[in-house]
Amino acid sequence: MHHFALKNGVLHAEDVDLSVLADTIGTPFYCYSTATLTRHYEVFKAAFGALDTLVCYAVKANSNQAVLATLARLGAGMDVVSEGELRRARAAGVPGNRITFSGVGKTAQEIAYALDEDILCFNVESEPELAMLSEIASAKGRTARIALRVNPDVDALTHAKIATGKAENKFGIPIERARAVYREAAKLQGILVSGVDMHIGSQITDLAPFDTAFTILASFLDELRADGHPIDHVDLGGGLGIPYRQGEDPDSYHPDRYAAVVKARLGHLPYRFIFEPGRLIVGNAGILMTSVILVKAGEAKTFVVVDAAMNDLIRPTLYEAHHEVVAVTEAPADRPSATVDVVGPVCETGDYLAQGRIMPLPQAGERLAVMSAGAYGAVQAGTYNTRLLVPEVLVNGADYSVVRPRPSYDDLIGLDKLPAWLR
């Protein structure tokens, strides 16, 4: 569910008229809904009932400070994958003891900083990382709480670029090797074994892979208990998908059904459960607003050329991802429909937001909303073709705030510095 809906023929974000907002701010821009962020967090948290849980929002999905602060005030922890994300989480008011640090390539500098912030847990992805963490923690006189990320070799049945739980993926330690690595970890200075971590992928809409992975994990936890490891938590990662297409049934992978799988396979264990949802929380809480520049009738296709582009939202060309595209103002009933590609002005054939869509043929100057763009949208945006980063807006009821302003061309070009011999 989200809080973007037509009111009197005009799309609103909660109680804010998006047509008026576009006139004020100028397109393109991202718009996020506080009510949707709040509802999604609370529904996910509530699904686990009496289980001892900590929901650590995956910062990589959308790292805007306003989004992080909104979730932090609801009690969310944060899962980070870089020093920058850790700094963002701390700046949003999240204490170190509610932060987990994931990622396959943590640097020595990042590890040292995270140790100083006394974070809850490092999710360790390799034996070399474990050795480096021990060395740095010992030198600083600190103890690093760790969980090994175990790879169960389970196909998450999702896009190949966001699957993380197969043997061929770069993530985690093979579960067949993990028991021996835990034995080694228990002997290392500066290391406290405190958990187990497993994350098999993203945008998972079939619960069967979770069931398989958690069954494997339950057996592995029995082995760790037999070895005497003082495990206090199990991190099950994130990955639960969201509906991107109109007509999809969100109940087929509702948090309640996911929680039922967790409880069935692991709920009897005396551990705290950590979850790392990202897309589930923020994906349908955001849209990308854009304006039609022109409509171009080609030989084989009709192109609706808009002012947002692949540098603003790369998911369609990177992941072949589907985003619904809707008119901000309802078209007249007598307007003819056409099959169109919605494309941007970037000089790449891959610059498209939607392909083969049937819609009332938009006209120049009209606004469109690219739906379900709250996750992996603005965070992956760039300045290709010297295009400005788009602003981000957070709506709360009838109020809105620009939470990342649009930079100027002077700001962008000023990032380059000429060497002395070219001045």
CA 329 to CA 18: how far, in whole Å?
Answer: 9
Sequence-ordered list of residues with C-beta below 8 angstroms from that of 34, at least 6 positions apart, any chain: 14, 70, 394, 395, 396, 397
In 108-175, DSSP assigns E strands to: 121-124, 144-151, 173-174
Give residue 244's identity as a one-letter amino acid code: Y
| H-state helical runs in 227-282 | 255-266, 279-282
3-state secondary structure of 276: coil
3-state secondary structure of 241: coil
Residues counted in the chain = 423
Quick count: other Cβ atoms within 10 Å of Cβ 395? 24
Quick count: other Cβ atoms within 10 Å of Cβ 222? 11
8 Å CB contact between 14 and 396: yes
8 Å CB contact between 325 and 361: no
Among 31, 56, 121, 347, which one carries the catalytic annotation?
347
| H-state helical runs in 267-337 | 279-282, 315-319
Tokens for 141? 């006189």
Residue 1 Cα distances to 52, 232, 283, angstroms: 26, 34, 11
114-127 core/surface letters (b: 16 or more CB in 10 A; e: else): bbebebbbbbbbbe
CA 308 to CA 292: how far, in whole Å?
Answer: 9
Catalytic residue list contains 347? yes
Among residues 201, 193, 200, 232, the alpha carbon closest in space to that of 217 is found at: 200
CA 19 to CA 363: how far, in whole Å?
Answer: 15
CA 420 to CA 202: how far, in whole Å?
Answer: 47
Sequence-ordered list of residues with C-beta below 8 angstroms from that of 270, at least 6 positions apart, any chain: none
Residue 133 Cα distances to 226, 233, 295, angstroms: 26, 20, 56
Pairing, β 325-327 against β 367-370: antiparallel
3-state secondary structure of 109: helix
Known catalytic residues are 347
